[in-house]
Structure 1
């Protein structure tokens, strides 16, 4: 493969990673940009909504003259076909990939296209009418066709939740079928200092090379964002599909290239709750692990501590007087942030307590932020999970700034991929009376922060 081709692939990967599209992500190991892992998050308002769909991309020596090879990896071990164009065996049928012959000019591959356009094309298959993606069914608009499409969407919705969400998180967290968690290496074991730490890092690095998982932390963070949506899906559709009832087989399914199964929303709901419990326990374990590292005077702990100590001077420079940060029990890995509502804003007078839990593997694992003061806000879930976007994910200072910016955001552009509080979001982007209700609820919530004892 020529240097020019490698440079182009690297440039495309960097463009996606720096971009603002929250529905796609890519990752590769530094030593080989030809082999890429890609993630597409199912579009809002479809049966694929907020599912985590992974793909492997292999670039050949003739790229960009010829398209890369793309294989779907979220297939339940080759047993589940998620779309007429996304096979259980992993094949992705698209004209721009040369795996399907389009009838319209311009549908074939050209060197002007790239990885991002491929991912967008695959994402476009994840629609509300997947039944019509099957050749010969493109114009299926009759009553019976609509019924079949609804039945197809019903099982895709269930399997998206089961396979593309729950299974992903259970694997990432080591949750076993009985709900127990597989034991991992004890990161808090005693040691003499940096030498032990370096050995641990070397072992971790070797493990990562053997099993490259670039989206593991993303799965966890987004699950916390979308948890309420997932549970709402269970509550809404479980009465419509009796547990144990069979999926309807589509006319075009067969030969092992199918989506067979039964509805079991009751079980899915329990597994979602268990995932959230394990994520809570994992976050708490970060604090214990961080405290142990601090006692050992680890370089990791010193690095995080230094960043917290520099915050005061930085805020003075920026003349930012409405944010303060202190450590919980002198633990550098747990920051307690207090945000004071800015004068002349909708949060004026509010006092918000925010817990920032930092992983000892930061920045590979990003902080988990919980607003502990009750607040009715489109960026904060009902149980306090904050949806925010640091411009510099490897700088904790920027995380604190971005948290404040998320709370202060008054007229954001609508983006369904950031919905963490569905009710508040619906009001904010609803009618004029809905918006008034939203701001009234917001005002009441921050007024309560001054009434409660700190």
Structure 2
């Protein structure tokens, strides 16, 4: 039975890790698949939007006959209750986990698994979490509606502060505030201050760059709605040691988010220098990337289906430049797009960061030029797949709606708005495409006048 349990857990982990779901991730130490860490990214258009919520999952030997134990880890050191069903102490109340009394048919069955648990948790992160509390699901009086809005407002603030900002500050060494770890009484972690297992650092950093514009927009809206220092409203279902207390401080959050963004850009640019050192030391990663680059160039020399130039900047295999030429008869027709692909000496543990340097009004390109593109963990080591995914993300004329990939709020609102909105999106896109050739020419002239080698 124990071996069957291990096989089941291993298969579920593999299936989830090879998928391309942007909103859920799982990881474990190789030595023990029974102890899993999971990251659930807050759904768009909710107060949890693009927040990073981490959970600890412990599988017993009787899994899948019985559900695993799930503990929330994003709790502000045990001080913040993010949802009526996600307690400050880490308890997650779900009928399928046996931690909440549900309707018949909602209880656990062996047909369910890790992914269904995480999707159930994500479903708690709704647009109106106030309704998750029993007795308040049908609250419709004016007072209840005001309370619902107050609850949504403070969750949005604390999602940004705790799950995004403090997490990234810790990753980047910005915050000097010591971490406080609080786990449930049955936690298997004997010492919360041991070297932590942090499997989601790169995933959160890349997504921060993608979603930076959304964070900034949310904070601008928050600044208009709430004065700094205004206290959160206490909800009727919140009790001692199981609440969300605090004050609105959007001015402070906005400054901290900008600092994180600057630090991540500095880190990305530093990869090129680290890469040069790796080349000098003849590390295997530099040889691998050099070989991959040469193979990809040969592949594209043999195809007429796509027009692009690919080269190394300063002969550095950790910094690639891609010049993409817009295909005829598409929205990109006539465009010339200069794209930089930054690679870490720790690739593929740290995935590439891609900057579209030519200004482009596009739903997949942030205001800072960060490109949101997708590859699965199964092929994340193959740079050819990355190049293909980068081109596909930019060229997609008829994208399927997925709000997790819409990293430019202004462009996304137009693209998925009314028919007139979409016309405006297409006009803005075409205008930026027409300007792209002039931008590249101006950039080349500037480089030549400064005696910078043109590559």
TM-score by length of 1: 0.91
Q: Deviations over 1:16-64 (max 9, x none)?
A: 2223332111111222111100111111111111100000000001101
| Number of the residue aligned with 1:167 | 166
d(CA) in 2 for partners of 1:266 and 1:430?
30
* SS class of match (1:128): coil
Q: What SS does the corresponding residue of 2:228 show, helix, strand or coil?
A: coil
Give the match for residue 186 of structure 2.
none
CA RMSD of aligned residues (A): 1.5
Give the CA deviation at 1:340: 0.8
Query: Could you say which residue in structure 2 is the equivalent of 1:143?
Result: 142
Residues 1:448 and 2:448 are matched in the alignment: no
Q: 2 CA distance for matches of 1:420 and 1:266?
A: 23
Name the residue aligned to 1:129: 128
CA contact 2:372–2:393 (8 Å) conserved in 1: yes
CA-CA distance at 1:98 after TM superposition: 0.5
Query: In structure 2, what is the equivalent of residue 354 of structure 1?
Result: 339
For residues 441 and 129 of structure 1, what CA distance do their matches in structure 2 show?
34
Cα distance in structure 2, aligned partners of 1:156 and 1:219:
19
* Secondary structure of 1:310's aligned partner: helix
Q: CA deviation at 1:321?
A: 4.5
TM-score, scaled relative to structure 2: 0.90
Task: Please give the residue correspondences for 1:247-266 in structure 2 after superposition, counting only pairs within 5 Å.
Answer: 247-266=232-251
Q: Which of 387, 405, 411 is equivalent to 2:372?
A: 387
Give, in whole Å, the separation in 2 of the partners of 1:52 and 1:210.
Answer: 21
SS in 1 for 2:364: coil
In structure 2, the gaps of 5 or more residues are: 178-193, 445-455
Deviation at 1:320, TM superposition (A): 4.6
1:19-34 superposed matches below 5 A: 19-34=19-34
Q: Which residue is 1:56 aligned to? A: 56
Number of residue-to-residue matches in the alignment:
423
Q: Please give the alpha-carbon distance, in whole angstroms, between the structure 1 residues aligned to 2:331 and 2:205.
A: 31
Does the Cα contact within 8 Å between 2:20 and 2:374 map onto a contact in 1? no
| Structure 1 gap ranges (5+) | 179-208
Cα offset for 1:296?
2.3
Number of the residue aligned with 2:282: 297
- Give me the whole-angstrom Cα distance separating, in 1, the residues matched to 2:204 and 2:155: 19
For 1:334 and 1:53, how far apart are their aligned partners in 2? 32
Q: Does 1:342 align with 2:327?
A: yes
1:422 aligns with 2:409: yes
State the secondary structure of the residue aligned to 1:253.
Answer: coil
Change (3 A) 1:317 1:32: farther
Alignment partners' CA distance in 1, 2:137 and 2:418: 36
- Alpha-carbon separation, structure 2, partners of 1:69 and 1:404: 42
3-state secondary structure, aligned to 1:263 = coil
CA distance in 2, matches of 1:177, 1:116: 35
Using the TM superposition, name which of 436-445 and 361-370 deviates more: 436-445
In 1, are the aligned partners of 2:354 and 2:370 still within 8 Å (CA)?
A: yes
| Structure 1 counterpart of 2:426 | 439
1: CA distance, partners of 2:141 / 2:23: 32
Task: For 1:154 and 1:111, locate their aligned partners in 2 and report how far apart those are by CA, in whole Å.
Answer: 38
Deviations 1:131-154 (A, max 9, x none): 221222222121111111111111
CA displacement at 1:382 relative to structure 2: 1.4
Q: Secondary structure at the match of 2:320?
A: strand
1:99-248 to 2 correspondences below 5 Å: 99-102=99-102, 104-177=103-176, 210-248=195-233
Task: Describe the superposition over 1:390-419 as per-residue Cα deviations: whole angstroms up to 9, x where unpaired.
Answer: 242111111111111111101111111111
